[in-house]
Chain A
Protein backbone atom coordinates (compact mmCIF):
# COMPACT_ATOMS: atom_id res chain seq x y z
CA UNK A 1 0.00 0.00 0.00
CA UNK A 2 2.78 2.36 1.02
CA UNK A 3 4.48 1.60 -2.30
CA UNK A 4 1.34 2.39 -4.30
CA UNK A 5 0.96 5.79 -2.66
CA UNK A 6 4.66 6.38 -3.12
CA UNK A 7 4.36 5.74 -6.86
CA UNK A 8 1.22 7.86 -7.07
CA UNK A 9 3.13 10.73 -5.47
CA UNK A 10 6.01 10.33 -7.92
CA UNK A 11 3.43 10.23 -10.70
CA UNK A 12 1.90 13.48 -9.49
CA UNK A 13 5.33 15.11 -9.27
CA UNK A 14 6.22 14.05 -12.80
CA UNK A 15 2.73 15.12 -13.88
CA UNK A 16 3.36 18.57 -12.40
CA UNK A 17 6.36 19.00 -14.66
CA UNK A 18 4.63 17.47 -17.67
CA UNK A 19 1.73 19.88 -17.18
CA UNK A 20 3.85 23.02 -16.81
CA UNK A 21 6.03 22.15 -19.78
CA UNK A 22 3.24 21.03 -22.10
CA UNK A 23 1.26 24.14 -21.12
CA UNK A 24 4.13 26.34 -22.28
CA UNK A 25 4.39 24.36 -25.51
CA UNK A 26 0.64 24.63 -26.09
CA UNK A 27 0.62 28.40 -25.56
CA UNK A 28 3.57 28.85 -27.91
CA UNK A 29 2.18 26.54 -30.56
CA UNK A 30 -1.23 28.19 -30.42
CA UNK A 31 -0.03 31.70 -31.14
CA UNK A 32 3.29 31.25 -32.92
CA UNK A 33 2.62 28.04 -34.82
CA UNK A 34 6.06 26.95 -33.69
CA UNK A 35 6.76 23.53 -32.21
CA UNK A 36 9.36 24.64 -29.69
CA UNK A 37 11.92 21.88 -29.40
CA UNK A 38 14.15 24.20 -27.36
CA UNK A 39 11.66 23.87 -24.51
CA UNK A 40 13.63 21.13 -22.75
CA UNK A 41 16.86 23.11 -23.01
CA UNK A 42 15.08 26.15 -21.62
CA UNK A 43 13.84 24.07 -18.67
CA UNK A 44 17.42 23.00 -18.10
CA UNK A 45 18.59 26.64 -18.35
CA UNK A 46 16.07 27.52 -15.63
CA UNK A 47 17.62 24.92 -13.33
CA UNK A 48 21.14 26.10 -14.14
CA UNK A 49 20.12 29.70 -13.59
CA UNK A 50 18.98 28.74 -10.07
CA UNK A 51 22.25 26.86 -9.50
CA UNK A 52 24.33 29.84 -10.67
CA UNK A 53 22.33 32.23 -8.51
CA UNK A 54 22.91 30.07 -5.44
CA UNK A 55 26.54 29.12 -6.01
CA UNK A 56 27.93 32.27 -7.64
CA UNK A 57 25.78 35.01 -6.14
CA UNK A 58 24.39 33.46 -2.97
CA UNK A 59 20.84 34.09 -4.15
CA UNK A 60 18.49 31.40 -2.84
CA UNK A 61 15.59 29.34 -4.14
CA UNK A 62 12.77 31.82 -3.65
CA UNK A 63 14.43 34.59 -5.62
CA UNK A 64 15.49 32.06 -8.23
CA UNK A 65 11.81 31.19 -8.78
CA UNK A 66 11.38 34.80 -9.88
CA UNK A 67 14.71 35.61 -11.52
CA UNK A 68 15.33 32.44 -13.57
CA UNK A 69 12.05 32.65 -15.57
CA UNK A 70 12.71 36.33 -16.32
CA UNK A 71 16.31 35.73 -17.42
CA UNK A 72 15.58 32.62 -19.50
CA UNK A 73 12.36 34.23 -20.83
CA UNK A 74 14.47 37.20 -21.98
CA UNK A 75 16.79 34.82 -23.84
CA UNK A 76 13.65 33.37 -25.41
CA UNK A 77 12.51 36.84 -26.49
CA UNK A 78 15.89 37.37 -28.12
CA UNK A 79 15.60 34.06 -29.99
CA UNK A 80 12.07 34.95 -31.13
CA UNK A 81 13.03 38.43 -32.34
CA UNK A 82 16.22 37.43 -34.15
CA UNK A 83 15.30 34.00 -35.51
CA UNK A 84 11.79 32.59 -35.05
CA UNK A 85 10.04 35.71 -36.32
CA UNK A 86 11.49 35.03 -39.75
CA UNK A 87 9.80 31.64 -39.94
CA UNK A 88 6.12 32.33 -39.24
CA UNK A 89 5.11 32.29 -42.87
CA UNK A 90 6.83 28.96 -43.52
CA UNK A 91 5.84 25.39 -42.72
CA UNK A 92 5.94 24.10 -39.10
CA UNK A 93 8.91 22.01 -40.06
CA UNK A 94 11.28 24.99 -40.26
CA UNK A 95 10.49 26.16 -36.75
CA UNK A 96 10.89 22.61 -35.49
CA UNK A 97 14.29 22.23 -37.15
CA UNK A 98 15.53 25.59 -35.91
CA UNK A 99 14.45 25.01 -32.32
CA UNK A 100 15.77 21.44 -32.38
CA UNK A 101 19.14 22.69 -33.58
CA UNK A 102 19.18 25.39 -30.93
CA UNK A 103 18.39 22.81 -28.26
CA UNK A 104 21.36 20.68 -29.35
CA UNK A 105 23.67 23.70 -29.35
CA UNK A 106 22.56 24.91 -25.92
CA UNK A 107 22.79 21.44 -24.39
CA UNK A 108 26.19 20.93 -26.02
CA UNK A 109 27.52 24.18 -24.57
CA UNK A 110 26.34 23.30 -21.06
CA UNK A 111 27.69 19.78 -21.32
CA UNK A 112 31.03 21.12 -22.45
CA UNK A 113 31.31 23.17 -19.27
CA UNK A 114 29.55 20.97 -16.74
CA UNK A 115 29.81 17.40 -18.01
CA UNK A 116 26.80 15.17 -17.82
CA UNK A 117 26.81 14.26 -14.15
CA UNK A 118 24.32 16.23 -12.08
CA UNK A 119 25.09 19.15 -9.82
CA UNK A 120 23.30 19.04 -6.48
CA UNK A 121 20.83 21.75 -5.49
CA UNK A 122 19.65 21.88 -1.88
CA UNK A 123 16.00 21.88 -0.96
CA UNK A 124 15.34 25.28 0.66
CA UNK A 125 15.25 25.08 4.46
CA UNK A 126 11.63 26.19 4.68
CA UNK A 127 10.54 23.18 2.60
CA UNK A 128 12.89 20.56 4.02
CA UNK A 129 11.61 17.54 5.88
CA UNK A 130 8.30 15.78 5.55
CA UNK A 131 5.05 14.78 7.17
CA UNK A 132 3.97 11.28 8.10
CA UNK A 133 0.42 10.96 6.84
CA UNK A 134 -0.02 7.51 8.40
CA UNK A 135 -0.39 5.69 5.11
CA UNK A 136 2.71 7.31 3.60
CA UNK A 137 5.54 9.76 4.20
CA UNK A 138 5.08 13.03 2.30
CA UNK A 139 8.18 15.17 1.70
CA UNK A 140 7.12 18.80 2.03
CA UNK A 141 9.09 19.93 -1.00
CA UNK A 142 7.22 17.50 -3.24
CA UNK A 143 3.87 18.63 -1.90
CA UNK A 144 4.95 22.19 -2.62
CA UNK A 145 5.86 21.34 -6.23
CA UNK A 146 2.44 19.80 -6.86
CA UNK A 147 0.54 22.72 -5.32
CA UNK A 148 2.71 25.36 -7.00
CA UNK A 149 2.33 23.67 -10.37
CA UNK A 150 -1.45 23.46 -10.00
CA UNK A 151 -1.59 27.16 -9.09
CA UNK A 152 0.64 28.17 -12.01
CA UNK A 153 -1.25 26.01 -14.52
CA UNK A 154 -4.72 27.09 -13.52
CA UNK A 155 -3.75 30.77 -13.26
CA UNK A 156 -2.45 30.54 -16.81
CA UNK A 157 -5.65 28.83 -17.92
CA UNK A 158 -7.72 31.53 -16.20
CA UNK A 159 -5.82 34.37 -17.84
CA UNK A 160 -6.14 32.84 -21.30
CA UNK A 161 -9.75 31.65 -21.11
CA UNK A 162 -11.38 34.23 -18.86
CA UNK A 163 -9.73 37.63 -19.24
CA UNK A 164 -9.60 40.38 -21.82
CA UNK A 165 -5.89 39.82 -22.42
CA UNK A 166 -6.66 36.14 -22.97
CA UNK A 167 -9.36 37.01 -25.51
CA UNK A 168 -6.71 38.89 -27.52
CA UNK A 169 -4.52 35.80 -27.38
CA UNK A 170 -7.28 33.43 -28.42
CA UNK A 171 -8.42 35.75 -31.21
CA UNK A 172 -4.86 36.26 -32.47
CA UNK A 173 -4.40 32.50 -32.52
CA UNK A 174 -7.29 32.34 -35.00
CA UNK A 175 -6.74 35.47 -37.08
CA UNK A 176 -3.70 37.60 -36.19
CA UNK A 177 -4.17 39.95 -39.16
CA UNK A 178 -7.64 41.00 -38.05
CA UNK A 179 -6.68 41.39 -34.39
CA UNK A 180 -3.82 43.66 -35.43
CA UNK A 181 -6.19 45.64 -37.67
CA UNK A 182 -8.29 46.29 -34.55
CA UNK A 183 -5.34 48.15 -33.08
CA UNK A 184 -3.59 45.44 -31.07
CA UNK A 185 0.19 45.24 -31.42
CA UNK A 186 0.18 41.56 -32.37
CA UNK A 187 3.92 41.16 -33.13
CA UNK A 188 4.74 42.40 -29.62
CA UNK A 189 2.11 40.10 -28.14
CA UNK A 190 3.65 37.14 -29.99
CA UNK A 191 7.11 37.97 -28.65
CA UNK A 192 5.88 38.30 -25.08
CA UNK A 193 3.87 35.08 -25.35
CA UNK A 194 6.98 33.21 -26.42
CA UNK A 195 8.87 34.79 -23.53
CA UNK A 196 6.11 33.70 -21.18
CA UNK A 197 6.09 30.10 -22.45
CA UNK A 198 9.86 29.91 -22.13
CA UNK A 199 9.67 31.47 -18.66
CA UNK A 200 7.24 28.75 -17.67
CA UNK A 201 9.76 26.11 -18.73
CA UNK A 202 12.47 27.87 -16.72
CA UNK A 203 10.18 28.01 -13.68
CA UNK A 204 9.64 24.27 -13.95
CA UNK A 205 13.42 23.90 -14.19
CA UNK A 206 13.97 25.78 -10.92
CA UNK A 207 11.32 23.67 -9.20
CA UNK A 208 12.93 20.51 -10.57
CA UNK A 209 16.46 21.39 -9.47
CA UNK A 210 16.18 20.07 -5.86
CA UNK A 211 14.40 16.89 -7.01
CA UNK A 212 16.28 15.75 -10.11
CA UNK A 213 19.60 17.59 -9.69
CA UNK A 214 20.91 20.08 -12.24
CA UNK A 215 22.10 18.37 -15.38
CA UNK A 216 22.70 19.63 -18.95
CA UNK A 217 20.58 16.80 -20.35
CA UNK A 218 17.74 16.94 -17.82
CA UNK A 219 15.49 18.60 -20.40
CA UNK A 220 16.43 16.37 -23.32
CA UNK A 221 15.12 13.29 -21.53
CA UNK A 222 11.96 14.98 -20.38
CA UNK A 223 10.98 16.80 -23.55
CA UNK A 224 10.27 13.63 -25.54
CA UNK A 225 7.70 12.55 -22.96
CA UNK A 226 6.29 16.08 -22.84
CA UNK A 227 5.76 16.09 -26.60
CA UNK A 228 3.86 12.82 -26.26
CA UNK A 229 1.75 14.53 -23.59
CA UNK A 230 1.05 17.43 -25.93
CA UNK A 231 0.05 15.10 -28.75
CA UNK A 232 -2.27 13.14 -26.45
CA UNK A 233 -3.84 16.30 -25.03
CA UNK A 234 -4.26 17.95 -28.41
CA UNK A 235 -2.02 20.64 -29.89
CA UNK A 236 -2.94 24.12 -28.78
CA UNK A 237 -5.49 23.18 -26.10
CA UNK A 238 -4.67 24.86 -22.77
CA UNK A 239 -6.86 22.80 -20.46
CA UNK A 240 -5.95 19.70 -22.47
CA UNK A 241 -2.25 20.26 -21.78
CA UNK A 242 -2.81 20.65 -18.04
CA UNK A 243 -5.17 17.71 -17.51
CA UNK A 244 -3.19 15.39 -19.76
CA UNK A 245 0.05 16.35 -18.02
CA UNK A 246 -1.21 15.44 -14.56
CA UNK A 247 -3.24 12.49 -15.84
CA UNK A 248 -0.34 10.85 -17.63
CA UNK A 249 1.96 11.42 -14.66
CA UNK A 250 -0.51 9.42 -12.57
CA UNK A 251 -0.89 6.74 -15.25
CA UNK A 252 2.88 6.39 -15.31
CA UNK A 253 3.03 6.14 -11.52
CA UNK A 254 0.34 3.47 -11.42
CA UNK A 255 2.10 1.51 -14.14
CA UNK A 256 5.28 1.59 -12.07
CA UNK A 257 3.38 -0.10 -9.27
CA UNK A 258 1.32 -2.63 -11.21
CA UNK A 259 3.60 -3.44 -14.14
CA UNK A 260 6.98 -1.70 -13.72
CA UNK A 261 8.40 -3.10 -16.97
CA UNK A 262 6.01 -0.90 -18.99
CA UNK A 263 6.45 2.31 -16.97
CA UNK A 264 8.86 3.89 -19.46
CA UNK A 265 6.70 3.18 -22.48
CA UNK A 266 3.14 3.47 -21.18
CA UNK A 267 2.83 7.13 -22.23
CA UNK A 268 3.85 6.29 -25.78
CA UNK A 269 1.42 3.40 -25.90
CA UNK A 270 -1.33 5.81 -24.83
CA UNK A 271 -0.15 8.20 -27.52
CA UNK A 272 -0.46 5.58 -30.23
CA UNK A 273 -3.95 4.60 -29.09
CA UNK A 274 -5.11 8.23 -28.93
CA UNK A 275 -3.68 8.98 -32.35
CA UNK A 276 -5.50 5.99 -33.81
CA UNK A 277 -8.89 6.99 -32.46
CA UNK A 278 -8.68 10.76 -31.98
CA UNK A 279 -5.96 12.15 -34.24
CA UNK A 280 -6.57 15.70 -32.98
CA UNK A 281 -5.87 14.59 -29.38
CA UNK A 282 -8.19 14.18 -26.41
CA UNK A 283 -8.95 17.90 -26.09
CA UNK A 284 -7.89 19.18 -29.51
CA UNK A 285 -10.27 20.59 -32.08
CA UNK A 286 -10.06 19.39 -35.65
CA UNK A 287 -9.06 22.35 -37.81
Chain B
Protein backbone atom coordinates (compact mmCIF):
# COMPACT_ATOMS: atom_id res chain seq x y z
CA UNK B 1 0.00 0.00 0.00
CA UNK B 2 1.52 3.34 -1.01
CA UNK B 3 2.53 5.88 1.62
CA UNK B 4 -0.09 8.59 1.95
CA UNK B 5 1.07 11.92 3.30
CA UNK B 6 -1.35 13.92 5.44
CA UNK B 7 -2.45 17.03 3.62
CA UNK B 8 -3.76 20.54 4.32
CA UNK B 9 -6.37 20.17 7.06
CA UNK B 10 -6.45 16.39 7.11
CA UNK B 11 -5.13 14.45 10.06
CA UNK B 12 -3.87 10.91 9.64
CA UNK B 13 -4.88 9.11 6.44
CA UNK B 14 -7.48 10.84 4.29
CA UNK B 15 -10.87 9.33 3.45
CA UNK B 16 -9.96 9.37 -0.23
CA UNK B 17 -6.41 9.27 -1.58
CA UNK B 18 -5.88 9.36 -5.34
CA UNK B 19 -2.40 8.73 -6.74
CA UNK B 20 -1.15 8.59 -10.32
CA UNK B 21 -4.65 7.98 -11.64
CA UNK B 22 -4.77 7.32 -15.38
CA UNK B 23 -7.92 6.80 -17.42
CA UNK B 24 -8.79 6.08 -21.02
CA UNK B 25 -11.85 6.20 -23.25
CA UNK B 26 -11.01 3.86 -26.06
CA UNK B 27 -7.81 5.18 -27.60
CA UNK B 28 -7.91 8.58 -25.94
CA UNK B 29 -5.88 8.95 -22.77
CA UNK B 30 -7.85 11.38 -20.57
CA UNK B 31 -6.22 11.34 -17.12
CA UNK B 32 -2.43 11.54 -16.90
CA UNK B 33 -1.57 10.88 -13.27
CA UNK B 34 -4.15 12.65 -11.11
CA UNK B 35 -3.19 12.91 -7.43
CA UNK B 36 -5.11 14.47 -4.54
CA UNK B 37 -6.62 13.76 -1.13
CA UNK B 38 -9.97 14.38 0.46
CA UNK B 39 -10.14 14.27 4.26
CA UNK B 40 -13.10 12.98 6.24
CA UNK B 41 -15.81 15.65 6.45
CA UNK B 42 -14.30 17.96 3.85
CA UNK B 43 -15.98 19.56 0.85
CA UNK B 44 -13.44 19.68 -1.97
CA UNK B 45 -13.98 20.90 -5.50
CA UNK B 46 -12.31 20.05 -8.77
CA UNK B 47 -12.08 23.20 -10.88
CA UNK B 48 -10.90 23.52 -14.43
CA UNK B 49 -11.87 24.26 -17.98
CA UNK B 50 -14.02 22.02 -20.11
CA UNK B 51 -12.18 18.85 -21.03
CA UNK B 52 -9.66 19.12 -18.18
CA UNK B 53 -10.73 15.68 -16.89
CA UNK B 54 -12.90 16.60 -13.89
CA UNK B 55 -15.86 14.41 -14.77
CA UNK B 56 -13.55 11.58 -15.81
CA UNK B 57 -11.85 11.83 -12.42
CA UNK B 58 -15.19 11.35 -10.63
CA UNK B 59 -16.11 8.49 -12.95
CA UNK B 60 -12.74 6.84 -12.39
CA UNK B 61 -13.20 6.99 -8.62
CA UNK B 62 -16.67 5.47 -9.07
CA UNK B 63 -15.29 2.82 -11.41
CA UNK B 64 -17.46 3.56 -14.44
CA UNK B 65 -14.77 4.37 -17.02
CA UNK B 66 -13.75 1.59 -19.44
CA UNK B 67 -10.10 1.57 -18.34
CA UNK B 68 -8.26 3.07 -15.38
CA UNK B 69 -4.92 2.57 -13.65
CA UNK B 70 -3.07 3.95 -10.67
CA UNK B 71 -4.25 4.05 -7.08
CA UNK B 72 -7.54 5.12 -5.52
CA UNK B 73 -7.66 4.44 -1.79
CA UNK B 74 -11.01 4.81 -0.08
CA UNK B 75 -10.68 4.35 3.70
CA UNK B 76 -7.27 2.82 2.94
CA UNK B 77 -8.80 0.20 0.65
CA UNK B 78 -7.61 -0.04 -2.94
CA UNK B 79 -10.58 0.37 -5.30
CA UNK B 80 -8.96 0.86 -8.68
CA UNK B 81 -9.56 -2.74 -9.72
CA UNK B 82 -13.07 -3.10 -8.31
CA UNK B 83 -16.32 -3.07 -10.29
CA UNK B 84 -18.51 -0.04 -9.64
CA UNK B 85 -21.09 -2.01 -7.65
CA UNK B 86 -18.34 -3.12 -5.22
CA UNK B 87 -17.06 0.45 -4.87
CA UNK B 88 -20.59 1.66 -4.15
CA UNK B 89 -20.92 -0.99 -1.44
CA UNK B 90 -17.86 0.46 0.30
CA UNK B 91 -19.70 3.75 0.77
CA UNK B 92 -19.06 5.87 -2.32
CA UNK B 93 -22.05 7.43 -4.11
CA UNK B 94 -22.21 9.25 -7.42
CA UNK B 95 -24.55 11.93 -8.72
CA UNK B 96 -23.79 12.10 -12.46
CA UNK B 97 -23.74 15.28 -14.50
CA UNK B 98 -26.78 14.23 -16.53
CA UNK B 99 -28.51 13.42 -13.20
CA UNK B 100 -29.70 10.01 -14.33
CA UNK B 101 -33.32 10.23 -13.24
CA UNK B 102 -35.19 7.15 -14.46
CA UNK B 103 -38.22 7.86 -16.66
CA UNK B 104 -39.85 4.50 -15.99
CA UNK B 105 -39.73 5.05 -12.22
CA UNK B 106 -41.80 7.38 -10.05
CA UNK B 107 -40.10 10.02 -7.91
CA UNK B 108 -40.43 7.79 -4.88
CA UNK B 109 -39.11 4.74 -6.74
CA UNK B 110 -36.16 6.83 -7.95
CA UNK B 111 -35.51 7.90 -4.37
CA UNK B 112 -35.73 4.35 -3.04
CA UNK B 113 -33.73 2.77 -5.86
CA UNK B 114 -30.11 2.84 -4.57
CA UNK B 115 -29.66 -0.02 -2.11
CA UNK B 116 -28.50 0.70 1.45
CA UNK B 117 -24.77 0.11 1.59
CA UNK B 118 -24.11 1.06 5.20
CA UNK B 119 -25.91 2.18 8.34
CA UNK B 120 -26.19 5.86 9.06
CA UNK B 121 -27.94 7.08 5.92
CA UNK B 122 -30.67 9.68 6.16
CA UNK B 123 -34.27 8.59 6.61
CA UNK B 124 -36.67 9.18 3.73
CA UNK B 125 -38.58 11.74 5.84
CA UNK B 126 -35.37 13.69 6.42
CA UNK B 127 -34.71 13.77 2.68
CA UNK B 128 -38.25 15.00 2.02
CA UNK B 129 -37.66 17.65 4.71
CA UNK B 130 -34.52 18.73 2.92
CA UNK B 131 -36.32 18.83 -0.45
CA UNK B 132 -40.04 19.48 0.21
CA UNK B 133 -40.77 19.67 -3.54
CA UNK B 134 -39.98 15.99 -3.85
CA UNK B 135 -42.47 15.02 -1.16
CA UNK B 136 -45.26 16.82 -3.01
CA UNK B 137 -44.46 15.07 -6.25
CA UNK B 138 -43.52 11.63 -4.98
CA UNK B 139 -45.99 9.84 -7.28
CA UNK B 140 -44.97 11.72 -10.44
CA UNK B 141 -42.89 10.15 -13.14
CA UNK B 142 -39.23 10.92 -12.37
CA UNK B 143 -38.49 12.82 -15.55
CA UNK B 144 -41.64 14.96 -15.27
CA UNK B 145 -39.87 17.02 -12.59
CA UNK B 146 -38.24 20.37 -13.35
CA UNK B 147 -34.48 20.44 -13.84
CA UNK B 148 -33.95 21.72 -10.29
CA UNK B 149 -36.22 19.09 -8.79
CA UNK B 150 -34.47 16.37 -10.77
CA UNK B 151 -31.16 17.57 -9.35
CA UNK B 152 -32.59 17.45 -5.83
CA UNK B 153 -33.84 13.94 -6.49
CA UNK B 154 -30.45 12.89 -7.85
CA UNK B 155 -28.75 14.18 -4.70
CA UNK B 156 -31.53 13.05 -2.36
CA UNK B 157 -31.47 9.43 -3.44
CA UNK B 158 -27.79 8.95 -2.58
CA UNK B 159 -28.26 10.34 0.95
CA UNK B 160 -30.41 7.36 1.99
CA UNK B 161 -27.77 4.73 1.31
CA UNK B 162 -25.33 5.44 4.10
CA UNK B 163 -22.56 6.34 1.65
CA UNK B 164 -19.86 8.49 3.27
CA UNK B 165 -18.30 10.04 0.18
CA UNK B 166 -20.56 11.85 -2.28
CA UNK B 167 -19.27 12.53 -5.78
CA UNK B 168 -21.35 15.40 -7.18
CA UNK B 169 -20.84 16.29 -10.84
CA UNK B 170 -21.89 19.87 -11.61
CA UNK B 171 -25.01 19.93 -9.47
CA UNK B 172 -25.77 23.55 -10.39
CA UNK B 173 -25.43 23.24 -14.14
CA UNK B 174 -28.27 24.89 -16.02
CA UNK B 175 -30.27 25.78 -12.91
CA UNK B 176 -31.89 29.07 -11.92
CA UNK B 177 -29.99 31.17 -9.33
CA UNK B 178 -32.56 30.55 -6.60
CA UNK B 179 -32.20 26.77 -7.09
CA UNK B 180 -28.41 27.09 -7.14
CA UNK B 181 -28.65 28.78 -3.72
CA UNK B 182 -30.82 25.96 -2.42
CA UNK B 183 -28.33 23.35 -3.65
CA UNK B 184 -25.56 25.38 -1.97
CA UNK B 185 -27.42 25.42 1.36
CA UNK B 186 -27.97 21.68 1.00
CA UNK B 187 -24.27 21.01 0.51
CA UNK B 188 -23.46 23.05 3.62
CA UNK B 189 -26.07 21.07 5.58
CA UNK B 190 -24.69 17.78 4.31
CA UNK B 191 -21.19 18.79 5.41
CA UNK B 192 -22.60 19.59 8.85
CA UNK B 193 -24.06 16.08 8.93
CA UNK B 194 -20.59 14.67 8.36
CA UNK B 195 -20.75 13.79 4.68
CA UNK B 196 -17.54 14.13 2.69
CA UNK B 197 -18.12 15.71 -0.70
CA UNK B 198 -16.05 15.83 -3.85
CA UNK B 199 -17.64 18.37 -6.15
CA UNK B 200 -17.00 19.07 -9.81
CA UNK B 201 -17.96 22.66 -10.58
CA UNK B 202 -17.76 25.06 -13.49
CA UNK B 203 -19.43 27.73 -11.40
CA UNK B 204 -16.43 28.92 -9.47
CA UNK B 205 -18.33 31.54 -7.44
CA UNK B 206 -20.68 28.82 -6.26
CA UNK B 207 -17.76 26.54 -5.38
CA UNK B 208 -16.22 29.28 -3.25
CA UNK B 209 -19.36 29.44 -1.08
CA UNK B 210 -19.42 25.77 -0.13
CA UNK B 211 -15.93 24.25 -0.35
CA UNK B 212 -12.95 23.96 2.02
CA UNK B 213 -10.39 23.48 -0.70
CA UNK B 214 -10.13 23.57 -4.47
CA UNK B 215 -8.02 21.49 -6.78
CA UNK B 216 -7.37 22.94 -10.22
CA UNK B 217 -7.18 20.51 -13.13
CA UNK B 218 -5.67 20.95 -16.55
CA UNK B 219 -4.97 18.40 -19.30
CA UNK B 220 -5.80 15.44 -17.07
CA UNK B 221 -3.63 16.50 -14.10
CA UNK B 222 -4.02 18.42 -10.86
CA UNK B 223 -1.93 21.58 -11.28
CA UNK B 224 -2.70 23.48 -8.08
CA UNK B 225 -4.43 23.30 -4.72
CA UNK B 226 -6.03 26.38 -3.20
CA UNK B 227 -7.52 26.56 0.30
CA UNK B 228 -10.78 28.49 0.30
CA UNK B 229 -9.24 30.98 2.79
CA UNK B 230 -6.47 31.98 0.36
CA UNK B 231 -8.85 32.32 -2.52
CA UNK B 232 -9.02 36.11 -2.50
CA UNK B 233 -5.26 36.43 -2.58
CA UNK B 234 -4.95 33.96 -5.44
CA UNK B 235 -7.82 35.31 -7.48
CA UNK B 236 -5.74 36.50 -10.47
CA UNK B 237 -4.14 33.07 -10.73
CA UNK B 238 -7.52 31.35 -10.57
CA UNK B 239 -8.81 33.54 -13.37
CA UNK B 240 -5.81 32.59 -15.42
CA UNK B 241 -6.39 28.85 -14.75
CA UNK B 242 -10.03 28.94 -15.64
CA UNK B 243 -9.68 31.38 -18.49
CA UNK B 244 -12.52 33.57 -17.24
Contacts and interface: CB of A to CB of B under 8 A. Distances in A.
A171 B85 contact: no
A184 B105 contact: no
Contact of A178 (B83, B96, B161): B96
Given A174-B103, A174-B104, A178-B96, A185 B85 contact: yes
B148 interface: no
A60 B87 CA distance: 47
Contacts of B87: 181
Interface stretch (A43-51, A61-69, A116-124, A162-170): A162-170
A180 interface: yes
B88 A181 contact: yes
A186 B102 CA distance: 16
B115 A171 contact: no
Contacts of B115: 182-184
A170 B104 contact: yes
Contacts of B212: none
Contacts of A181: 62-64, 84-85, 87-88, 94
A183 B113 contact: no
A184 B109 contact: no
B87 to A, nearest CB: 8
Contacts of B112: 164, 167
A183 B93 CA distance: 9
Given A182-B161, A183-B117, 16 more contacts: A170-B102, A174-B102, A174-B103, A174-B104, A175-B102, A177-B84, A178-B96, A180-B64, A180-B83, A180-B85, A180-B88, A181-B85, A181-B87, A183-B114, A184-B85, A185-B85
Nearest 6 CB-CB pairings of A with B: A183-B88, A182-B114, A170-B104, A181-B84, A178-B100, A171-B102
Interface of B: 62-64, 83-85, 87-89, 93-94, 96, 100, 102-105, 109, 112-115, 117, 158, 161
